[in-house]
Amino acid sequence: METVKYKKDAEEIDGSFLHVEEANEDEGNITYVLRWVVRDYARIVAGIYYRCHYISIGKSIHNLRILKHDTKVRDFRDRKLYCILLGLTPATSCAKISFVLIGSRNREIQPENKGVLQHILDRRCFYEFSESYLPTEHLDLVAVCKITAAKSIRVGVGIEKSTILQDFECLYGSGLLSDVKLCVGDREFDAHKVVLAARSPVFAAMLRNKMKENSENRIEVEDSNETAVGELLRYLYAEKTIPLTIDLALDLFELADKYDIQTLKSETANYLRCNFSVENILDILVAADLHDEKQMKKEAIEFIADNLWCLLKTPKWKTFRTRLELVDCILAYLS
């Protein structure tokens, strides 16, 4: 393959989402599984070097990178064939990095690992895939990045500019100097008024004014569960949660909207948008409509329209079809 020449200054790409799917511990190491989705892959221009998302490994900060490269080869229809280069830069010696591309029917595509990139000193930080492996039924690029590091090496998505979140995480669940309780069912969580008020305008209003919650130092959280409320608190203190599932993301999405925590609402919405399936899409559409998440609602309707015949056979559709306004939205999109 010819040497690739590209812009040295990588361009930021929007419409890219990244979340930690799971973290598995084995023999003193932890493997973090990150799902990366780039919406509308067709807008990626060949020869331009894109960057997105910061990942911290130990004390170093790394970027996810993507480059679309013209292979100078054409298919039987005389269409250009491209390769996709995915990577994490700069290269790291304290963790093992791997990428797979998710193809049709969620099939994992292993990298081909060919080619040379000019200006890149360490080829190991990039992985090459043929564009022909991308699913033809949609225009999203979906990849999984695995990072394996010793337990002593901290791995996180985003840049930690100080230890303040780590310090506040120590307060989470410790009960130290707590002055208010969040109650869900029979479970009570110790919390601090100043943290709740700083992170949520709704909590701030409750605790600032002469309301029942302020006078009794108790906040009753209705229509939720222990796990979701516990992770809501973890996010308020440390701006992170345990690895999300669809059910937990839906619960946190609802709580984030209820208590006006916009960053958490955005993060859970991005997770849900990355994980549409026939099994969960109706629940996601209902949540998007109820909590006024217009973009997620739009994308959910498009997904439903593309998979309508499969959905019509599911038990959930029998319940969903009573939501006439949402059914009308789907029919309007199809017409």
Domain boundary among 269, 288, 314: 269
* 125 & 221 share domain: no
Query: Token digits for 209?
Result: 């004014």
Alpha-carbon gap, residue 129 to 110, rounded angstroms: 8
What is the average per-residue pLDDT within 162-180? 80
Task: Quote the domain boundaries for residue 293.
Answer: 276-334
Query: Token digits for 243?
Result: 């690895």
Place of tokens 């990178």: 65
Asked whether the whole model's pTM tops 0.75, one would answer no
Q: Listing from the earlier edge strand, what are the strands of the sheet with 108-109?
A: 16-26, 29-38, 141-150, 95-102, 108-109
Which of 19-28, 92-101, 157-166, 193-202 has the highest mean predicted lDDT (pLDDT)? Answer: 193-202
Counting the structural domains of the chain, the total is 3
- Give the pLDDT of residue 48: 80
* 66 & 105 share domain: yes
- Give the pLDDT of residue 138: 55
* 55 & 88 share domain: yes
* 29 & 125 share domain: yes
Q: Is residue 204 part of a domain?
A: yes
Q: How confident is the model at residue 89 (pLDDT cuts 50, 70, 90)?
A: confident
Mind giving me the DSSP string for 136-153? SS---EEEEEEEEEETTS
Domain boundary among 128, 150, 172: 150
CATH code (residue 308)? 1.25.40.420
Q: Are 151 and 26 in contact (CB under 8 A)?
A: no
pLDDT tens digits along 269-323: 988 988 889 999 999 999 999 999 999 999 999 999 999 999 998 999 999 999 9
Alpha-carbon gap, residue 190 to 171, rounded angstroms: 9
* 184 & 63 share domain: no
Q: Are 317 and 311 in contact (CB under 8 A)?
A: yes
Place of tokens 């939205």: 329
CATH code (residue 185)? 3.30.710.10
* 56 & 175 share domain: no
